[in-house]
Amino acid sequence: MDTEALAGSAAEPTKPTDPADAFERYDDDALAAAMTDEAVRLGLTGAIMTITAPGTPGEAVVPASPVTITTDPALGLSRFPAPVGQPVIFAAGAPLPTGEAALPTRRSIRDAEHARARDEAVRAKTARRSGQPVVDQAKVDAVESVQPPVPLKDQFTPSPAMDDPVSGVPLASDFPLAPIASDSVGEFGDRSPATTLAPPAAVAVATHVPVYDLIEPQPYSAALTVIPPTVVPPTIERIVALTAPVADPLDDDGLRPAGTMNPWLQSAAVEVARRQSTGPHLFVVEASGSLPTTLDQRVGRASRLFWLWFAANSSVISLAFGAAIFSLGMSLRQAVVAIFIGVAISFLPLGLGTLAGKWSGQPVMVVSRATFGHLGNILPAIIALISRLFWGAVLLWVIAAATARILVRAGLAGPLTELQLMVIVMAVTFLVALIVAFFGYALFARIQLVLGILSAALIIALVVITWPAVDISTALTVADGPVILVVTGVVLVFSFVGLVWANSSADLARYQRPSSSGGASMLLASFGMTLPAFLLIGYGALLAASSTSTAKGLNSSPIDTIAALLPGSFPVPLIAATALSLLSGVILSIYSGGFALGALGVKTTRSWATVIVGVLVFAVAIALGFTVDNVVVVFRDLATTLAVPVAAWAGIFSAEMILRRRRFDTRSLLARGGIYRDVNWLNFSMLVVASVIGLGFTSASVPGLGWEGYLFTAVGVPLASPLGSTDLGVLVSLALGLLTPLVAGISTIHRQELQQASRA
């Protein structure tokens, strides 16, 4: 039987005559035959089944819908060899089989066409010899179900047809194995007997979804081997909070300027830091100084700023300040208006300084380098350090003097004199303030919260107890004074509320959450500063307007006058109401003074800089206690003189904060050579000019300061006149400072931000 010749003649395709048709072309039947032959080679048999990957624990595995073979009317499965052999196993980490028989050679599409033609020729020849009519197999296949295929002579006996598909089987030995025929002798050669191998035990479904590797099919003689995937217990690595570097000052602080990081990545980083934030530890010395506060410690909410500033401005000494405002010659209405305008202007440096601290996580005098330059900022840092030393010493002195006076008046001094009590109280208060400032922000914030709540309760109690001394009808009968006196009141309130803490505004905002609202932080910090000041100063003006004797007493001896308004059993609460808030102010002065000293370039840690500043504060307080007798002189002359350069600095710094659209560049703030110059000559020169002009419109009677007011004298305004005694120079220096960047500094800020954007 010359089947080879017959098959060859039937299967030989015609060669293309057109060069464009040089590629092999086959019909769908030839492609299907090639695919079936490939299935035979790989050892697949039976119905198509879906193997569902095992799910993770706790997830229900939904079996896939069964898929069955649908016969094509143009093709009959009986024409092709029976699919035999082992299925392809996808197992994680399964080793490749070695030493086994090689796989059958993959037939090309041309080989499959030859095989089909040979099979058809043999079938037709057999039918003619037997006298049977030749049946069109395509019509038969269109109506019959799946029938066992007729094997070639070099193949095993085909397996029975599988009418029931299998679905949802796991990765185990349930997979239907291709049947192995018994010993048979084929027409084209002999085969050795094959042994049917029992499948191995079922492997439990993996509890962890493995990644499967494609393993080459096993040889025909090998048993089905299923290597289960290596199950690794699920572990979750601990997310480490994003922290800013603390060792290299040139590293970034983890909060890149706006526009330099993908906003989705930036928000995700901030969210991870927020969830992993721990906050500063209570009794661990604060390490951050000029460097930005690390993100894992920036956990403060905007509401925290309210209590931080509330405690520092809620002392009953503010009652005496209100009486002093009223005693200038104003009516109660004018006094209230002056107080309100003064605290409203105080919002400007306090709010914008808070925003700067929240943006950068750094002290305000470090951020000030962006405005004046690294070397040019030395002068503002010196002014800030002097301000912190002065106000820390004044508050420490007032605590000691007021406490000693209350104890002597209540008969609780014992054998000690008032001066001795003052020194003892001053020393104890200094030690407490120094310890808190040395440990830093965590302990300070906790104490501020406690002091703020206690101060609020004591103030409410004091107002309730002293309310019988208020006579509103009498207070409203006081006639209005000259309008220029309102300006004097505004200057005094602004100097004693806003400018006292302008150099410290950002120091308490360094631990704010990066995701917190900047507007809310500004408002709550400003309200915490100004609300108790407005209420207490206004209430002091009301008490002074209600009684002439009370007004004189609050101006000359405020502690004795306030004590006279209280019952005799109130000395201890009075001491607390007086000293607790002032203690908060002393702590803040020492704490912030350490940052100002560091901004000067002194090579020391924040904690030891705090110790240096604390010792200086104590020395100045001792000097004030032994040399100054009139508190009003200090409050009026020295405070307003110091307020002039502070107002000039606050104006320039605040105006630049209004103009900036990008956050500060941390590396350039910490090291020279960045986008911030060594000296910003415009701002530096205007700081000096505004201070000189401001002092020319300020008067003072303290020895050594009589030269002030020279511009008033130059324009013919007597210093003793209402205009000459307004200390208008504070507002003048503030206005000049505000105008400087707005008029001539926009290009400099724009250049800085362009350089910052180019480096991102």
Nearest to residue 641, comparing CAs of 633, 629, 651, 631? 633
Same domain, 294 and 210: no
Same domain, 355 and 222: no
Same domain, 115 and 64: yes
Residue 249 has pLDDT above 60, yes or no: no
Same domain, 230 and 301: no
Question: Which amino acid, 19?
Answer: P
Last residue of a domain, one of 235, 251, 285: 235
Number of domains in the chain: 2
The structure tokens 């205007």 sit at: 686
Residue 333 has pLDDT above 90, yes or no: yes
Four-point Cα dihedral 383, 384, 388, 394, nearest 10: 40
Last residue of a domain, one of 235, 253, 272: 235
Contact 491, 281 (CB under 8 A): no
Res 574: pLDDT:
84
Res 191: pLDDT:
42
Q: Give 428-439 pLDDT, tens digit per residue.
A: 999 999 999 999
Measured in degrees and rounded to the nearest 5, phi and psi for residue 149 equal -70, 155
For the record, the structure tokens of 266 come out as 């930036």
Nearest to residue 412, comparing CAs of 424, 427, 398? 424
Q: Which stretch of 11-20, 102-111, 129-138 has the lowest confidence by average pLDDT?
A: 11-20
Whether residue 246 lies inside any domain: the answer is no
**Spatial separation of the C-alpha atoms in residues 635 and 496, rounded to whole Å:** 8
Q: Which residue has the higher pLDDT, 189 or 310?
A: 310
Whether residue 256 lies inside any domain: the answer is no
Whether residue 254 lies inside any domain: the answer is no
Same domain, 319 and 214: no
Same domain, 303 and 196: no
**Spatial separation of the C-alpha atoms in residues 395 and 593, rounded to whole Å:** 14
The arithmetic mean of pLDDT across residues 216-245, rounded, is 48
CATH code of 397's domain: 1.10.4160.10
Residue 579 has pLDDT above 60, yes or no: yes
Res 637: pLDDT:
87
Q: Give 21-74 pLDDT, tens digit per residue.
A: 444 555 666 677 777 777 766 665 544 444 444 544 444 444 444 444 444 454
The single-letter DSSP state of residue 420 is H
Q: What is the pTM assigned to this prediction? A: 0.65
Whether residue 688 lies inside any domain: the answer is yes
Residue 107 has pLDDT above 60, yes or no: no
Nearest to residue 648, comparing CAs of 397, 419, 384? 384
Same domain, 688 and 725: yes
Whether residue 544 lies inside any domain: the answer is yes
Same domain, 539 and 596: yes
Same domain, 554 and 694: yes
Same domain, 228 and 284: no
The structure tokens 């039918």 sit at: 127
**Spatial separation of the C-alpha atoms in residues 126 and 106, rounded to whole Å:** 29
* Per-state percent for the chain, helix, strand, coil, to nearest 5: 55, 0, 45
Whether residue 483 lies inside any domain: the answer is no
Same domain, 393 and 533: yes
For the record, the structure tokens of 505 come out as 């505004």
Residue 176 has pLDDT above 50, yes or no: no
Hey, what long-range contacts does 137-146 have (CB within 8 A, 24 or more apart)? 137/76, 137/78, 137/79, 138/73, 138/74, 138/76, 140/76, 141/71, 141/72, 141/73, 141/74, 141/75, 141/76, 141/77, 141/78, 142/73, 145/71, 146/69, 146/71, 146/77
Res 224: pLDDT:
47
Last residue of a domain, one of 219, 235, 251: 235
**Spatial separation of the C-alpha atoms in residues 342 and 524, rounded to whole Å:** 17
The arithmetic mean of pLDDT across residues 171-196, rounded, is 41
Four-point Cα dihedral 68, 73, 74, 77, nearest 10: 50
**Spatial separation of the C-alpha atoms in residues 172 and 204, rounded to whole Å:** 8
Q: Give 587-603 pLDDT, tens digit per residue.
A: 999 999 999 999 998 88
Res 241: pLDDT:
44
Q: Give 475-490 pLDDT, tens digit per residue.
A: 999 999 999 999 999 9
Whether residue 354 lies inside any domain: the answer is yes
Res 444: pLDDT:
92
Same domain, 607 and 665: yes
- Show the domain range for 231: 1-235
Whether residue 479 lies inside any domain: the answer is no
